[in-house]
Amino acid sequence: MIRFTTAGESHGRALLAILEGVPAGLPLAAEDVGRDLARRMRGYGRGARMQIEADQAQLLSGVRAGETIGSPIALLIENRDWANWEDVMAPGAREDAPRRRLTRPRPGHADLAGALKYDRADARDVLERASARETAARVAAGAVCRRLLAVFGVEIGSHVVELGGVVARRAPLPSPLNDAADGSPVRCLVAQAEPAMIARIDAARDAGDTVGGVAEIVARGVVVGLGSHVAWDRRLDGRLAGALMSIPAVKGVEIGLGFGAAALPGSEAHDAIERAAQEGGHTTGGFSRRTNRAGGLEGGMTTGEPLILRAAMKPIATLMRPLDSVDLDTGRPAKAQSERSDVTAVPAMGVIAEAMTAIVLAGAYVEKFGGDAVAEMRRNFDGYLAQLRARQALWEPLG
């Protein structure tokens, strides 16, 4: 079982993740994590903070001499801006400390609901944790899981398929996906769409506005039979959807054709089953599909086809031209307060969604294959592949 927990405030000392259940013997370096942290910070439309950050993860535990040892992996990411915020965010009580209170909650953010729920007079106590900054810790944990998944031939990437209303889906997708996507400032694979997306971002910035979009996450090389149909909370589709919808500002999640499947007849919505060509089918049990409308998940289990997920992100809730709100202290109408913010974070959201996907998938591999050392887990995995092959050995040879 893989578990992960994060802690840390946006302008606090540091962000933290503890990732637990990773087998021993996995090669791991701080740079493996740093690479994804850097990818999360890029993207056209980010504000000034992204320059400040230059996030680096420290491996506080669980890794020794370049290898995991089976114990919990603690990842710490210092907030470089801490010196400027220490007096505001320090844990210690100090009468004269400046608060930078936020009392005019931003529509679309956690400010209002959080202040009421936790009975806080200062919504900063909420927004500091609700900030998307927290996702740096998720990306750090996800980077470790990505490293584990690579042992089993899984590769996870993402690209932006819609930004500020500009739609740009492309098929077939290049492989590895991120080599191509990371080259674009908006992580978009369709060259013609890129300038239009950038123009939307620029226009939004000029208008003091923000934009949202949709990222598609693709996991290739996933073996057939992860997740399960036997219980609602063992289904991998539900677990993945829950993980993606938990990303701040995500309001929709799709698998495969997603909402599009609702409008198609059954005869056009499923994926005919075929026998795999001689050279393929190692991880699909010898089968292949004519299409992949299911996005690699049937009955809550992986089919062995690429996992295709999409997450829709609403525009960032902090606008430079703020929305109407109410002052918590007086009950009077007021403009929402502003925090420094980005115009869009859709490219970054794709990277975060990769991380969440990696964490869920790594958990599913650990569940199916067990094992406390990477070599043991890999041996169990190979045994499963052999079991799949044994079934095919009874078949007539391919003509």
Q: How far is the CB of 155 from a second copy (least distance, A)?
A: 20
On whether the CB atoms of residues 200 and 165 are closer than 8 A, the answer is: yes
CA 307/CA 259 separation, integer angstroms = 16
Kindly state the tokens that stand for 170: 């492309």
Instruction: Identify which of residues 58 and 176 has a Cβ nearer to a second copy in the complex.
Output: 58
Q: Which residues on adjacent β-strands are paired with residue 219?
A: 156, 307
- Cβ of residue 251: shortest distance to a second copy, in angstroms? 5
**Which residues have CB under 8 Å from 342's CB, separation 6+?**
45, 46, 47, 49, 50, 210, 316
Reading the block at residue 396, the tokens are 């007539």
Minimum CB distance to a second copy smaller for 122 or for 176: 122
DSSP state, residue 301: E
**To which residue do tokens 């996991």 refer?**
219
Quick one: 129 or 187, whose CB is closer to a second copy?
129
Q: Cα(178)–Cα(47) distance, rounded to whole angstroms?
A: 23
**Closer residue to a second copy in complex, CB, 50/269:** 269
**Would you say 343 and 207 are in contact if contact means Cβ atoms under 8 Å apart?**
no
Name the residue nearer to a second copy (CB basis): 179 or 268: 268
Q: Which is nearer to a second copy, 176 or 376 (CB)?
A: 376
Q: Judged by CB, which is closer to a second copy: 59, or 358?
A: 59
Tally the residues of the chain. Answer: 399
Give the position of tokens 């992949």.
Answer: 292
Q: How far apart are CA 341 and CA 209, in angstroms?
A: 11
Q: Which residues of 182-209 are buried (b: 16+ CB within 10 A; e: fewer)?
A: bebbbbbbbeebbebbbebbeebbeeeb
d(CA 298, CA 2): 23
Q: Which is nearer to a second copy, 176 or 270 (CB)?
A: 270
- Assess contact for 314 and 251: CB atoms under 8 A: yes
Q: Is the dihedral of CA 362, 186, 249, 100 positive or negative?
A: positive
